[in-house]
Amino acid sequence: MSADLYDLAIVGAGPAGLAAALEAHAQGLRTLVIDEQRAAGGQIFRQPPTEFDEPVRSPVGYPWAADLLADAAGATGVDWWFETTVFGVLDARSTGRDDFEVLVTGTQGSRRAHARRLLVATGAYDMPVAIPGWTMPGVLMAGAAQGLLKAQHVRAAGPVVLAGSHPLMLIVAAQLVRSGADVAEVVFARGLPSLRELFLAAPAVPGHVRLLAELAGCVLTLVRHGVRITTSAVPTAIIGDGGVTGIRLAKADRAWRVRGPEREVPARTVVLGYGFQASTELARQLGCPVRWDSAAGGWLVEVDGNFETGVPGVFVAGEPTGVSGAEQSRAEGAAAAAAIAAGLGRPVGAVRARAIERDLRRSRRFAAVVQRMFAPERPGLTALATPATTVCRCEAIPRSDVDGFLEANRHADTVDAVKLSCRTGMGPCQGRYCETTVAGAVAAARGGTVSDAGRFAAQLPVKPVSLQTYADLFDAD
């Protein structure tokens, strides 16, 4: 075997990537993990920089996090490339070789890695929702507000209002309160759960009592600090001129459509938390087939029982197969690595295989309940963007441009058609921020669904890189 050839390259060092790396390493696979962050942990287990000299902390409800991070730190047989972005992967169709060529750029320069198998464990993003004023300084996504707090100890300026639909908002609001921030209100788009919903949620309880108790603790913290918790309401505008001064809220119906009078709440920071969208662009760039599941994170990569995609040798684990929480990401990472190891002639033992299967079953029950209870009402969210609302923030394109194009071109019914004319999705984020809003606009105009509008093509490079990177990697070819 060539010294430069890895058995397995893993993109992403969150719970999925870390569990996979440890499993693969235990089976003797030569393993490389690449992540653009400075250290292992992914979104949920993100830690302050080492310069802060703090002990590793497990977040709310995940007591196993510190052990996972310690095991990863001790896995010196694994190669770790941090502060390194994977901007594309080439397979046999473009290289003629039978391994994968992973193209990266980062603090160590631009390089290629070769691997016999690829595991994409790239996680998810905060789901962007375009409402009037959402691009103003002082508006954050829930994950970003939390990231600032836990990784940099920077708390959002108060008064803070959180608006959205995902239970992560309760955790973030409580974390902000505990850090001393002035949190005024948490606004949920959905109503209180019915008794029937609570009954149907019962399968999520076994094995998750501690997580649920910690969530209840977050609610208690908010109540004790006088934070108002509102249900069945949506933000209709974020107010301010160059910075947030308030938020306008209105009563909403079950489909999150505005159905009541508006009220204004003073705020210096608005945190939006409508859930997550799976990060699938790398898998899509490789040609992996995807499917639409609105509740589970939008476009998801299709995988078989071994977490292998439609492209042989490419596996996906964690949020790109469905946004299901850290526990399921960890379980999927371990299961995918076990399958990869078996395929390379190094199967895990029967006891370990059963444990992996048990973890998967348990975490799936929990994830299914969360997804069902907090599924986004996409048409209602799309309707929050007024004609003047910026839809594509990279190219500064308002909703009226998209609607005007759709009005003038009755045959156009996909997000790619809108992109070609309006430039939505052509900026550095390549549509990560605007795709769902544009798809919602197409669906509203044509009377179809968001999935009917399709998705932007994912092309190399999937993340912005300099021309120098291309010159470094391809000049010699």
Ligand X SMILES: Cc1cc2nc3c(=O)[nH]c(=O)nc-3n(C[C@H](O)[C@H](O)[C@H](O)COP(=O)(O)OP(=O)(O)OC[C@H]3O[C@@H](n4cnc5c(N)ncnc54)[C@H](O)[C@@H]3O)c2cc1C
Is residue 86 a contact residue for ligand X (CB under 6 A)?
yes
Smallest distance, ligand X to C-beta of residue 143, A: 2
Smallest distance, ligand X to C-beta of residue 414, A: 25
Residue range at the interface with ligand X (CB under 6 A); choices 119-127, 284-292, 399-407, 436-444: 119-127
Tell me how far apart the alpha carbons of residues 70 and 16 are, in angstroms, rounded to a whole number.
15
Tell me how far apart the alpha carbons of residues 203 and 199 are, in angstroms, rounded to a whole number.
9
Residue range at the interface with ligand X (CB under 6 A); choices 195-203, 324-332, 364-372, 432-440: 324-332
- Cβ–Cβ contacts within 10 Å for residue 452, how many? 14
The residues in 152-181 that bind ligand X, with binding defined as CB under 6 A, are: 168, 171
Residue range at the interface with ligand X (CB under 6 A); choices 41-49, 346-354, 383-391, 449-457: 41-49
DSSP string over 411-428: T--SHHHHHHHH-TT-ST
Q: Which residues of 194-215 are buried (b: 16+ CB within 10 A; e: fewer)?
A: eeeeeeebeebeeebeebeebb
Per CB under 6 A, the list member of 27, 31, 105, 122 interacting with ligand X is 122
The residues in 264-323 that bind ligand X, with binding defined as CB under 6 A, are: 276, 279, 282, 318-319
Is residue 123 a contact residue for ligand X (CB under 6 A)?
yes
Q: Which residue has the tokens 């609607």?
A: 403
DSSP string over 98-148: SSEEEEEEETTEEEEEEEEEEEE---EEEPP---TTTTSTTEEEHHHHHHH
Degrees to nearest 5, angle at CA 429 with 282 and 258: 110
Angle between helices 399-408 and 435-446 (to 10 degrees): 40
Per CB under 6 A, the list member of 6, 10, 12, 380 interacting with ligand X is 12
Q: How far is CA 29 from the centre of its chain?
A: 28
Per CB under 6 A, the list member of 43, 363, 389, 436 interacting with ligand X is 43
Is residue 463 a contact residue for ligand X (CB under 6 A)?
yes
The residues in 52-71 that bind ligand X, with binding defined as CB under 6 A, are: 59
Is residue 359 a contact residue for ligand X (CB under 6 A)?
no
Smallest distance, ligand X to C-beta of residue 443, A: 25
Q: Which residue has the tokens 């690595």?
A: 337
Per CB under 6 A, the list member of 68, 124, 187, 303 interacting with ligand X is 124
Q: Is 230 helix (H, G, I), strand (E, B) or coil?
A: strand
E strands, 24-83, where? 31-34, 79-81
Residue range at the interface with ligand X (CB under 6 A); choices 32-40, 187-195, 257-265, 296-304: 32-40
Q: Is 74 helix (H, G, I), strand (E, B) or coil?
A: helix
Smallest distance, ligand X to C-beta of residue 265, A: 24
Sign of CA dihedral 363, 120, 302, 454: positive
Q: Give 273 or 398: the residue with its C-beta nearer to ligand X.
A: 273
Smallest distance, ligand X to C-beta of residue 43, A: 3
Contact present, 145 and 272 (Cβ < 8 Å): no
The residues in 226-245 that bind ligand X, with binding defined as CB under 6 A, are: none
Smallest distance, ligand X to C-beta of residue 64, A: 13
The residues in 400-429 that bind ligand X, with binding defined as CB under 6 A, are: none
Smallest distance, ligand X to C-beta of residue 264, A: 28
Q: Which parts of this chain interact with ligand X (CB under 6 A)?
A: 11-17, 34-37, 42-44, 59, 85-86, 121-126, 143, 146-147, 168, 171, 276, 279, 282, 318-319, 325-326, 329, 463
